[in-house]
Structure 1
Amino acid sequence: MDITTMKKILLVLTSQDTLGETGEPTGYNVAEASHPWKVFRDAGYFVDFASIEGGQPPRDEVQEADPVQVEFTQDETAKASLYNTPKVSVVDPAQYDAVYLVGGHGTMWDFTGNAALQKLVAAVYDAGGVVGAVCHGPSGLVDVELSNGVRLLSGRKVAAFTNAEEEAVGKQDTVPYLLQDRLEEQGATVKAAENWEENVQVDERLVTGQNPQSAAGVAKEMTKLLTEVVREQKAEEEQAAQALREEHDAEKAEDEQE
């Protein structure tokens, strides 16, 4: 990452508009997009959107009683960005300091196994960036392999939509697999809270949340990590500059002695 282009975050959305073969409509979860969007924007970050297939991604129902969701759906900049999102396959990961995977049941069909999304997530993490995901969004972390050959989820402490929550919404037999089980198969330890209770897990530069109630918390932890990354980069640059100054001083002293 380059400090001069810091503060740019990509939100990735599902393009799946039905729950498998049921015909029941679905899409990205508006709460899980809107609350992080507001956290990132209020913190001064630039927010971009992308989706699996590009174009205007489908969304779940907007909860009109939630002012953040209403603000998000009425914001002209967000509306323009969502009208024609780029495909994840054409996104340049070098442009982003963080990627956040928005949940919604649709992700269970098109996030998992998507090579372009896996490549994007791995590239951002390998470059020292932050990766976040909430609810069903961690389905996009499945099979992500880092440059060192290790799966991103291997040995990680994570949160995601639990088996109990899937049963509570009656979708355990509709989704292609149970997310909690798959994450554990990938070598992750899923830290589960009670149904609909906020639960955010941070493991190095990977931040995950259990449900819609955890979305804002995931974004807040991501911004904390991004702030730390900036501090570390500034410290490294200052150390390099100091070393260069000392080298120049030493060369100057040698020239004067000659």
Structure 2
Amino acid sequence: MAASKKILFILTSHDQLGDTGKKTGWYAEEVAEPADILTKYGYEIVFASPKGGKAPLDPSSIEAAKDNKTVKDFLNDKNIIHKIDNTHKIEEFIGKESEFAAVVYPGGHGPMFDLEHNEAALKVTAAAYEAGKVVAAVCHGPIALTDVKLSDGTLLVQGKNVTGFSDDEERSSKLDHAIPTLLESKLKKIGAKYQKADEQWGVKVVTDGRIVTGQNPASAPGFGEAIHAAIQAQHK
């Protein structure tokens, strides 16, 4: 069977960073870098979010990537921004998981608030994985994998090698008190085999079969390449 050439990116709908008064949302680099790489490999990116419609962009991520040509080109691409301003609701893809080669969760702090327990996202992710698809998440995105339960009752990432934004990086950002839970701590608590780069903000991408995770914004390009590699590995 030929590989599907569509990939579902699930973005956050949440734009408030706890009680800090700051805005959050999806992180530019963690969407732009993997989307750019995967598009060059011939995949079509489809965007969804919990509420549908416009998915909020974390303003701090625009500033952080001001010298990144890939991100700038992505944010200036009217076709892409039109899609992100008109995301599908995640519910639309329940039962259609086999249409996609992968389900991808980019980071930003937004997912910590609205993708940890999102029923539609949990269903789509579990069904995609059980249909032999790749499931991938970067930075704060892996929070969306932590409650995914497979049909045999086991948690998707239990016993799996994964990474994600570290508790040390969260504390360095002084945002550990602004979010509902710490990602590294939760991954360890549910029995995932958490790994991280030797230094904060270092590149770390982990592939365990059809589960691909990246630690932070610096890991976004390698994360994109690893998604493609994991999809290819299913069709050899």
> Which TM bucket (shorter chain)?
over 0.9
Deviations 1:75-133 (CA, angstroms, capped at 9, x unpaired): 23212211210111222322211011010001100010111111111111100000110
- Match among 54, 70, 73 for residue 72 of structure 2: 70
Identical pairs, percent: 38
Counterpart amino acid of 2:204?
N
Mapped partners of 2:98, 2:209: distance in 1: 20
CA-atom RMSD, angstroms?
1.2
- Match among 196, 210, 227 for residue 201 of structure 2: 196
Shift of 1:16: 0.5
| Structure 2 alignment gaps of length 5 or more | none
Question: Is 1:152 aligned to residue 156 of structure 2?
Answer: yes
Mapped partners of 1:164, 1:37: distance in 2: 27
Question: Is 1:223 aligned to residue 228 of structure 2?
Answer: yes
Which 4+ residue blocks in structure 1 deviate beyond 6 angstroms?
none
Q: Is the 8 A contact 2:8 2:100 kept in 1?
A: yes
User: Which residue matches 2:187?
Assistant: 183
Mapped partners of 1:130, 1:199: distance in 2: 18
Mapped partners of 1:203, 1:229: distance in 2: 13
Question: Is 1:18 aligned to residue 16 of structure 2?
Answer: yes
Instruction: Map residues 32-181 of structure 1 onto 2, 5 A cutoff.
Output: 32-61=30-59, 62=62, 63-91=65-93, 92-181=96-185
Shift of 1:23: 2.5
Mapped partners of 1:227, 1:97: distance in 2: 10
Mapped partners of 1:211, 1:126: distance in 2: 27
Mapped partners of 1:213, 1:116: distance in 2: 29
TM-score by length of structure 2 reads: 0.94
Higher gyration radius (CA): 1
How many residues are treated as equivalent by the alignment? Answer: 229
Shift of 1:215: 1.2
Counterpart amino acid of 1:94?
S
TM-score by length of structure 1 reads: 0.86
Mapped partners of 2:190, 2:50: distance in 1: 22
User: Which residue matches 1:214?
Assistant: 219
| SS of structure 1 residue aligned to 2:83 | helix
Deviations 1:54-77 (CA, angstroms, capped at 9, x unpaired): 111101131221111111111232
